[in-house]
Amino acid sequence: MKTNKIGRLLLATLLVTGFGFSGFAWSKEHHSQHQGHQHHQMTPEQFAELREKIEIYRGYSDEQIIDSMSRMRNLGGMISEAGVVGETGILALAHGYSDQGNAQWMEKFGPISGKYPTGYGLGMAMMSADHIQKAIDGLEAAGAKTIPVLRTETGDTNSLNYQWQYIFDRRDEASYLTIPRVTSNAEIIWGPSPTAHPIMNKIMLDHARELSTDPANELVVIMGHGPMTPKENEMDLAIMAKHAEAIKVNGGFRDVKYWNVQDDLPPDKRALNVAKVRDWIGDARGRGMEAIVVTNVLTQSGIMKRLQNDVDGTGAKFNDTGLMQSPHFSDWIEAAVEENLR
């Protein structure tokens, strides 16, 4: 049965990480199991490329970069059962999360995988896109001639999205290592991410309401991971601004603010973003308001825990439920597929 197949895949995702550059949550035992030979074969040119493109790596030794890279594992294949075939196949991509987050992500694609052949690629594809190629090959074997790509990350201006664009030959330069691109005989449709979709602010509004007691006297703060560069961060904040306005209007809150911690920046620069949020909360509470923090993070992963720690001690209420944990996230998947097919 399909549920058994998904269950087996959920177990397989235990091999995947999903914590970005600045916050890993793997035990030493787990880490030792994944010090793959691939990471030890990095060339001087590859070390130089990573340091040029990723600011936080500029202060890392070669050994620290190898340690970081060894935690970023990729996993790909098919979610659908072998009997699900068709000329349209769905390719779902994601950063990769904690064990629990990977399980939640897989479950969200259960319904759609019964309608269309559905493949998945979990991981940052820093050193290889083989996991994505494996999924594409599986979709083509299931008869897919058209493949909409669903990028299930809340951010269109970050380095992971750019790496995916490079892998699919939609961008000239890789944002991480320059690796072989994927190939396909099918038509690839570059589908939308959930970043700007109205369903996302509806979910965040639900999360704020779960902690709200007096909206007219409450500040809601949306916190996000955010991209690294100022220009890209501004673009991302512009989208968050629209979500904030919708939450304020529909929730009746006194104020709604938004900010990215830019989690992959060096700690001293990241700390400035955290200080800004803490100042907002402190000012609101000083004026007798309650403060509620929600995030645009997809699941209860390492970044969610870091954001919660960022506002610890401020007196703000923090909702640690990820967007993907909402039943409405499946609505976005359905809407994205329909939009692509139109």
Of the residues 193, 213, 232, which one is the last residue of a structural domain? 193
Percent pLDDT > 90 in the chain is 73
Does residue 290 share a domain with residue 218?
A: yes
69 Cβ neighbours under 8 A, 6+ residues apart: 39, 42, 126, 127
pLDDT digits (tens, 9 = 90+) for 93-146: 999 887 777 778 889 998 999 999 999 999 999 999 999 999 999 999 999 999
Residue 301: inside a domain, yes or no? yes
Does residue 229 share a domain with residue 180?
A: no
Global pTM value: 0.82
Residue 337: inside a domain, yes or no? no
Q: Which amino acid is at 254?
A: R
Order of strands, sheet of 218-224, starting from the edge strand that comes earlier in the sequence: 255-260, 218-224, 290-295, 317-318
State which residues form the domain around 210. Answer: 198-325
Structure confidence at residue 40 as a pLDDT band (50, 70, 90): low
Residue 218: inside a domain, yes or no? yes
pLDDT of residue 85: 97
Question: What total of structural domains would you count in the chain?
Answer: 2
Q: Is 60 exceeded by the pLDDT of residue 219?
A: yes
Residue 118: inside a domain, yes or no? yes
Q: Is 60 exceeded by the pLDDT of residue 79?
A: yes
Average of per-residue pLDDT across 33-48? 66
Range of weakest confidence among 125-129, 169-173, 181-185: 125-129
Residue 338: inside a domain, yes or no? no
Q: Is 60 exceeded by the pLDDT of residue 305?
A: yes
31 Cβ neighbours under 8 A, 6+ residues apart: 67, 70, 71
pLDDT of residue 135: 98
Residue 335: inside a domain, yes or no? no
**What are the φ/ψ torsions at residue 176 (nearest 5 degrees)?**
-115, -130
pLDDT of residue 320: 96
Of the residues 140, 167, 193, which one is the last residue of a structural domain? 193
pLDDT of residue 216: 98
pLDDT of residue 73: 77
Q: Which amino acid is at 115?
A: K
Does residue 232 share a domain with residue 166?
A: no
CA distance 130 to 159: 19
In the predicted model, what is the mean pLDDT of the chain?
87
